A = this chain, B = another copy of it.
Amino acid sequence: MTTSKPPLYTALSPALLHLYDVNHAIVVIIDVLRATSTIATALYNGAKCVIPVDCVAKCIELGRQIDGITAGERDGMIAEGLQHGNSPFEYSKEFVNGKTLVLTTTNGTKLLHMALDRGADRIITGSFPNLSAVCHYLTSQNQPVVLGCAAWKDRINLEDLLFCGAVIHQVKRQFSINCDSSQIAETVYLDAKKDLFEFIKGKNASHYHRLEGFGLEKDIRYCLTTDVADVLPVYENGKLIVI
């Protein structure tokens, strides 16, 4: 007797999210450089929760109301009026433990709100620092999955695709995958996995290029490191919390 496996799809850009039915699915929001890596890190280091908001004004206003840390970037730099940026290294245990982070980023928080508006059943965030937590969760739920890449202003990027490939490689036996984007992601991941950093550097990935220009090689290396902040951020009532 065979039991049917739930489907898994990969949306490589927010501009492709509408092609997939998220209503009964777990949507994994993926913004490897750097939003979802930073979310995992802040929560791993004891942040009470992360509240993703879609614009800087809302971030400032909410931060004031709840006495939270306001953080975020636009085009890779700390956004004007916010206290902190989007680097995981800003959110050490000493700094973030017990606090609430109000976060807005160029692509990641935007995608999360798109998934929400489209009626996603559940939303979690994924990054290499919490790869195993994501994979364990997905394989334990027996539910359809949509991997959603934040990309860069709707342009597909290499690092989000690589993370999808890493997830697919781990969970594929539990899912029915009839999705070329997923096959593409796994193929590239298998090619890259020996050394993800050297791979995206060698390919002159556009986001690598952008962040490396800001002196953020250390951030890139961290964001490509597996399981160093292995928690599962789940979106509930407007907040990302650890369950």
A contact residues vs B (CB 8 Å cutoff)? 12-13, 15-16, 19, 153-158, 161, 177-181, 183-184, 187-188, 191-192, 203-207, 209
A158 cross-chain contacts in B, Cβ below 8 A:
180, 183-184
| Residue in chain B with minimal CB distance to A208 | B180
| Residue in chain B with minimal CB distance to A202 | B183
Assess the A188–B178 pair: CB atoms within 8 A: no
A165 to chain B minimum Cβ distance, whole angstroms, is 10
A-B pairs with beta carbons under 8 Å apart, 20 shown: A12-B12, A12-B156, A15-B15, A16-B154, A19-B153, A19-B154, A155-B181, A156-B181, A157-B180, A161-B180, A177-B204, A178-B206, A178-B209, A180-B203, A184-B188, A187-B187, A187-B188, A187-B191, A188-B188, A191-B191
A32 to chain B minimum Cβ distance, whole angstroms, is 12
Q: Give bound CA distance, A192 to B157, whole Å.
A: 21
Assess the A206–B188 pair: CB atoms within 8 A: no
